[in-house]
Amino acid sequence: MRIGELAAACDCSAETIRYYEKIGLLPSPIRQDNGYRCYESSHRKWLTFILRSKALGFSQLEVRRLTDLATAPSSACQDVHELILEHIRGVRVRLRELKQLEKSLLRLEAKCIDETLHDCPVIDELMN
């Protein structure tokens, strides 16, 4: 299949596919005589794997680690489990940070009054 067909099948852009090829996350396809890339079902499988990993919030480095684990014959499921646990810890840290951010924004929003921008307490606080 061509890049447009793979992009449509995986609901992503051709640019995304080219990027993942460029950084080595997606194996390079063979090229036809006319220069077009020719993707196989294995490319669709790996692209789906990458996109689903990214949708779960895994960083590019973590996706690379997952693909390395998936292709290494000596990898154990425990290795993947440890990576998942590490990712969960990071998500929990971000959740705490987002809760704090929400509190700060709510505190600022509570200061909002219908006055002129010159007298805006939020702008004043952000500037001081």
Is the separation of the CB atoms in 17 and 6 below 8 Å? yes
Q: What is the pLDDT, as a whole number, of residue 30? A: 92
Task: Decide which of 3 and 120 is more confident.
Answer: 3
**Cβ-contact 122, 108 below 8 angstroms:** yes
Q: Is the dihedral of CA 83, 87, 88, 89 positive or negative?
A: positive
Q: Express each pLDDT in 7-35 by its tens digit.
A: 999 999 999 999 999 999 999 999 989 98
Domain carrying residue 95? 76-113+122-128
User: How many folded domains does the chain comprise?
Assistant: 2
| The residue type at 94 | R
Domain co-membership, 16 together with 51: yes
Q: What percent of the chain has pLDDT over 90?
A: 72
The secondary structure of the chain in percent helix, strand, coil, rounded to multiples of 5, reads 70, 5, 30
In a domain, 66, yes or no: no
Residue 97 has pLDDT above 70, yes or no: yes
Is the model more confident about 100 or about 76?
100
Query: Tell me, what CATH number does 3's domain have?
Result: 1.10.1660.10
49 & 80 share domain: no
In a domain, 67, yes or no: no
